[in-house]
Amino acid sequence: MLLRRRKPRIHWARHLVPAVTALVAATLLPLSPLGTSPAHAATVRESRPVYSYDDAIRESVWVDTKLDGDADGRTDRVAVDIVRPREAARQGRKVPVIMDASPYYSCCGRGNESQTKTYDANGKPVLFPLFYDNYFVPRGYATVLVDLAGTNRSDGCVDVGGRSDIQSAKAVVDWLNGRATGYSAASGGKPVKASWSNGRTGMIGKSYDGTIANGVAATGVKGLKTIVPIGAISSWYDYYFAKGAALFGSGPDGLAYRVESDAAHGRCAAVQKRLVDGAPRSGDWTGLWSARDYVPDARKVRASVFAVHGMQDLNVRTKHLGQWWNALADAGVERKIWLSQAGHVDPFDFRRGTWVKTLHRWFDHYLLGIDNGIERTPMADIERAPDQWSTDRVWPPSGTRQTTLRPAPGTTPGVGVLGTERARPGATAAFTDDPRLSESDWAADIDRPTAAKAGFSTPPLTKDLRLSGSGTVTVTATPSTSSAHLSAVLVDLGPDTIRDYGGAGEGIVTLDDRTCWGSSTAGDSACFKVTAADTEAVEQTVFSRGWADLGHHADARKGRPLTPGKPYTITLDLAATDHVVPAGHRLGLIIAGTDAGLLEPPTTTPRLTLDLNRTSARLPLAGSLRTEGAAPGAAPSPSPSSERLRGIRTPHIESPLPLR
């Protein structure tokens, strides 16, 4: 499915920014070197670090969510730690908020250095993880870090993307806008109002945190002006399953137990049971998943969206990004995107200087109303090689079209070809599921017949071929057993140097030196370890993949036992990507069974026979397929390689924990 580029419906910035700029400059930046005169106010282009971080107000508030998730007879309160400029408070000036709502502030930590919140002897917050507070508080923002219900110092229970999780953060946005009640203590205490807030809130976060930002934006809550989801989930079903095929060995109950506070373990057994009962390992869709699918509610989103994702993220796969991006496009939401070659990595750790500068401009525009032109810059930044980036005015780029490519037998038995011509009727390819082998093993053997996969490739390309967006692979397969899983992967066959997304750092290596981003205190440093690209020279690169349970062929939401010997047709959704297969390389398609380390095997060990005449791939190509020695689209058989191709080993994800 091609990713969409529909024009945004949010036009307020174009018409209101000049007026808002003058107002903000006059009321929020009086200490700026630009001065306070109207003439200077109209020329403000960025917020300046004119407020004291050391003297900033640090406080905690507990916000009532109006839910009783732990069924203890009183509504839950979530802990909110706040740091904000004292000078603004003294002068009665209200400030906007940068908010990160997370379950990880005590159990697991945030960022590449796994920072957790710390408090002094009186419970006053000292360390605010990540750099947002250090950098933005001196520039006139408040930073607000929210413990999701059931975590750290909050009441309630973790429900993994459900109503309690989302309400934990939405209630805080409401409180910042005067629509919810905050208290000075976890129980009892005095009511506290956010009189210092102007209500304009931006949510940011990686993984689970960014997922909460997506979910809160999908409620349409007023006051949420922008979100910056990084490697974020858009539908929790698609985190745990791919069209019925299990992607992890456990469900959301395991993640909930991992992040819950010790106190929550004792009171949240009923919620844990609901997570188990509502998420059967059959892969069938249930009401639990409907309540955790934010995509249908993209039409409610009022906020602008700056999405960041690693194209080789095998934890939160880019399927989440692709379907969310399309839904936002259909809703006319104003959007921007960064796509890296890394895995599940924060942009602070793969493009630090540019990231901080861009995020600064983004928040200045959408939270302070400064007319800095960020909304008129190219929509997409894409990493083409380690630390080498290109831009596109819109994404996917103009001229991208869905093109159908088809597999067919080659001249060498067991080694197929990929082109535009349909295979003759009766042409087949077969493989036997081997759960020990992964996509890397299949790709390394694409030019030789092996029992565990069916591989197809084009001849060498005469022109660069760009694939930009989401594709699909439709397969007609006859199983030998009553259950079967399918994998489909796209491979760039040719030498390259890429980020080692299968390594421990998923494409980065952490060094000992530090760089500083903002102001520090004794308990909260603005200095973080430097990172660099972790690269690997390879001979082939898997760049998009998709999975499915063949038993879900008739209904993606409910599986059925298969009849051995009967053909079934199913469409696998390929994860969104933006990859250029260079001239001289070949494009490969592999269809196989269990993708070891990424997909749970079926209950049987099937042999599957593909009907190649009824199998095809629809891919988002920017341009046409041109290969050596043939008319455009034709695909003679390549010569089998005499050596195994070397590529990245697929990382094994031991547990479903979208952390870092």
How many residues comprise the chain?
Answer: 660
Which structure tokens are listed for 34?
Answer: 């630009």
- Check residue 174 and report its DSSP letter: H
- Euclidean distance between CA atoms 506 and 415, whole angstroms: 32
Say if CB 161 and CB 233 are below 8 A apart.
yes
- The SS3 call for residue 461 is strand
Which of 284, 316, 303 minimizes the C-alpha distance to 161?
316
> Residue holding tokens 């001249």?
411
- Euclidean distance between CA atoms 400 and 2, whole angstroms: 8
Which structure tokens are listed for 575?
Answer: 């994860």
DSSP readout, 502-525? TSTTSSEEEEEEEEE-S--BTTB-
Give bridge partners of residue 548 from the DSSP assignment.
486
Which structure tokens are listed for 301?
Answer: 């989103």
- Euclidean distance between CA atoms 208 and 238, whole angstroms: 14
Which of 378, 392, 362 minimizes the C-alpha distance to 225?
362
- Which residues contact residue 535 at a Cβ distance below 8 angstroms, ignoring those fewer than 6 apart? 386, 497, 498, 499, 500
CB atoms within 10 A of CB 94: 16
- Euclidean distance between CA atoms 256 and 252, whole angstroms: 6
> Residue holding tokens 């032109």?
373
- The SS3 call for residue 497 is strand
Q: How far is CA 545 from CA 219, 235, 236, 574, in A?
A: 31, 18, 18, 5
Which structure tokens are listed for 530?
Answer: 């430097």
Identify whether 344 is a catalytic site residue: yes
Identify whether 578 is a catalytic site residue: no
Q: DSSP alpha helices (H): ranges in 291-338?
A: 319-330
Catalytic residue among 64, 70, 238, 313: 313
Give bridge partners of residue 381 from the DSSP assignment.
338, 391
CB atoms within 10 A of CB 302: 17
Catalytic residue among 102, 154, 207, 457: 207
Q: Where are the beta strands (DSSP E) in 85-165?
A: 95-102, 118-119, 125-127, 142-147
Q: HSE-up of 280 (CA within 13 Å, CB side)? A: 10
Alpha-carbon Rg for the chain, nearest whole angstrom, is 26
Give bridge partners of residue 343 from the DSSP assignment.
none
Give bridge partners of residue 594 from the DSSP assignment.
none
Identify whether 133 is a catalytic site residue: no
Q: How far is CA 642 from CA 101, 446, 645, 647, in A?
A: 53, 11, 9, 16
Catalytic residue among 32, 60, 64, 344: 344
Say if CB 384 and CB 63 are below 8 A apart.
no
> Residue holding tokens 């700026």?
32
Supply the residues annotated as catalytic.
207, 313, 344
